[in-house]
Amino acid sequence: MSLVEITPEAHGVAIDLAYATAGNFTGRPVYRTAHCFLHADAAAALLRASVLAREIGHGLLVLDAYRPPEAQQKLWDHTPNPDYVVPPERGSPHSRGVAVDLTLTDAAGRPLDMGTEFDDFTPRAHHDVAELPVAMRRNRCVLLGLMSTAGWDFYRREWWHYQLFDARRYARVSDADAPRRMM
């Protein structure tokens, strides 16, 4: 099995999985149980990013990581918009365990203002939006710099989404094949 559990102790991150709660764009929990997994390669890159963040007085809050294909189908059924939700048949990097949605926190663990909420499906969530106050753009740039330095690629329409380069070379992992079921 290529998925490993992400924990605050082992990876130096806080975890609050949005899809295990009603605090996501569907308005209801998508996961029955909250487990945070990533492929071992992605887990190592997340640890690198966490160390870099701590070195400059910040932290990382993971909002989503591995997402079973069954959950991807639920998201697509709710919002079939390929600009923000990968069609299930294409296979999301999340369903391969090589993508993470996260935000930057201050040293006390409080999320920094990024200009939009997680899962904001508007142009204001794009990396290149210039109409945000400088402090919010700076926060996004710091997160982008940390993640890029740690080996992550980004998705231009979502400031929170990062994935390993060449994500499609990793196999999708069904909920039944995950270390613990989420659906």
Structural domains in the chain, CATH included, are 3-177 (3.30.1380.10)
pLDDT in tens, 98-135: 999 999 999 999 999 999 999 999 999 999 999 999 99
Separation of alpha carbons 148 and 142, rounded Å: 10
Paired strand residues for 8: none
pLDDT of 1 strictly over 90: no
Specify the long-range contacts of residues 78-86, CB closer than 8 Å, at least 24 apart: 78/25, 78/26, 79/25, 79/26, 79/121, 81/121, 83/121, 83/157, 84/119, 84/121, 84/157, 84/158
pTM of the model: 0.97
Residue with tokens 């991807």: 72
Q: Supply the DSSP string of 101-112, one letter for each residue.
A: EEEEE-TTSPBP
pLDDT in tens, 26-48: 999 999 999 999 999 999 999 99
Separation of alpha carbons 35 and 66, rounded Å: 9
pLDDT in tens, 127-160: 999 999 999 999 999 999 999 999 999 999 999 9
* Three-class SS state of 62: strand
Separation of alpha carbons 126 and 146, rounded Å: 17
Q: Tell me the one-letter amino acid at 130.
A: A
Where in the sequence numbering do the catalytic residues fall?
158
